[in-house]
A = this chain, B = another copy of it.
Amino acid sequence: MTLIVAKFGGTSVANVERIKAVADIVIATRKRGHQIVVVLSAMAGETDRLIELAGQAATTPDSRELDVLLSTGEQVTIALLSMALQERDYPAVSYTGGQVQILTDNVHNKARIIDIESARVKKALTEHKIVVIAGFQGIDESGNITTLGRGGTDTTAVAMAVALNAHECRIYTDVDGVYTADPRIVPAARRMDRLAYEEMLELASLGAKVLQIRSVEFANKYKVPLRVLSSFEEGRGTLITDEDEEMERALIAGIAHNRDEAKLTLRGVPDRPGIAGAILGPIAEAGIEVDMIVQNTGVDHTTDFTFTVHRNDFAKATVLLGKTAQELGAAEVLSDDRIVKISVVGVGMRSHAGIASKMFSALAAEGINIQMISTSEIKISVVVDEKYLELGVRTLHSAFGLENGSAIMNDAVG
């Protein structure tokens, strides 16, 4: 008998009717002969309601007490699902994070799981019970309630799957899988049957609303197969596993985009060792994260230095860079928040040349000018004017043949 860990998020448990629908899925899984551990979020909107209450009680609510408050959200759903299962004669038992003993560090509101004491859950499973666990929460070593931060329920599910050596961790959500591109931009986007952990990490922008990145990292580290599927309709979803050498794989898994970034350029800075640190030091000290960084050698021993930050940090970064420019004697600061980052992602590109040139040619053929380029082993990202977002994504989706799933190795190598 194989063990499945199944996680249901807020919209899947939005009300008692939805919780009963979750009971249907759990029972169906059980009927197919699986043991099952269910991990639940709070009802959609409940966490916001509790945060609203906290905001009324204090302008800056104490972080320990905020965790005491927020952890009630999942406690409600686990009790309701267990009742619904028992009502249908399926033995079920609920456990809070503290009852399981999901041990975390003591960083309230964004704790990290240190260890899981799985004895209690294992015992319940041997007694043929369906175990229903509160996601998002744990306790520190002093017994204080902690929460893992928003989306932490995914992390709980993956961590439970690791602790119990589960066959698969299923993340039920309101979409039926991960797509080759955002279907709102590319109507022809296709649900992927399968992709590699690393691809999922790079495709964060496609999966962010579906899967917490931290949980994917965790699943990758411990090699737990993750499956994303819908709690609203039947289907096989998208399986996220280790890269499979044997498998005939698509060269490109999908096209991601990100419109949350803004670009800053320092033109004409003296090209000497240590210049990058001098430019980015003040940015880092201000707690601003930098994504892409590009430096070109310019003329006359000067260089142009460009990087991107989140749009929320754009104004702050622009001010900081202005000061740095004066100090370094740079020619000028250019800033632009009307950009978008488009990426092609696929583990297949590791062993195949020609992806970059195919990408650039396809964009050029549509008259899309590339402002920045950045590459990793399994990803090529370009920054373009934001007006090209839809055109760029669709062009690449089509160029790599993603709409018909034919982008397997031999076809795709241009």
**Chain A residues within CB distance 8 Å of chain B:** 16, 19-20, 50, 53-54, 56-62, 64-66, 68-69, 71-72, 75-76, 78-84, 86-87, 92-94, 96, 98-99, 120, 143-145
Contact = CB atoms under 8 A, between A and B. Distances in A.
B16 A87 contact: no
Given A76-B69, A76-B72, A93-B64, A83 B54 contact: yes
Majority SS of interface residues in chain A?
A: helix
A68 B87 contact: no
Instruction: State how many copies of this chain the complex holds.
Output: 2
Contacts of A20: 57
Contacts of A144: 99
Contacts of A86: 58, 62, 65
A144 to B, nearest CB: 8
Contacts of A16: 53, 56-57
A53 B76 contact: yes
B57 A87 contact: yes
Contacts of A75: 68-69, 71-72, 75
Given A16-B56, A20-B57, 11 more contacts: A16-B53, A62-B82, A65-B79, A65-B82, A65-B92, A68-B79, A68-B82, A69-B76, A72-B72, A72-B75, A99-B145
A16 B57 CA distance: 6
Task: Please indicate which of the listed interface residues A75, A79, A92, A145 has the most CB atoms of chain B within 10 Å of its own CB.
Answer: A79
A62 B143 CA distance: 27
Contacts of A94: 65, 68
Contacts of A71: 75
Given A72-B72, A99-B143, A143-B99, A66 B83 contact: yes
Contacts of A80: 53-54, 57, 65, 69
Contacts of A60: 87
Contacts of A92: 65
Contacts of A65: 79-80, 82-83, 86, 92, 94
A93 to B, nearest CB: 7
B62 A83 contact: yes
Contacts of A54: 79-80, 83
A50 B68 contact: no
A56 to B, nearest CB: 4
9 closest Cβ pairs, A-B complex: A69-B79, A58-B87, A72-B72, A16-B56, A68-B79, A58-B83, A57-B83, A57-B80, A65-B82
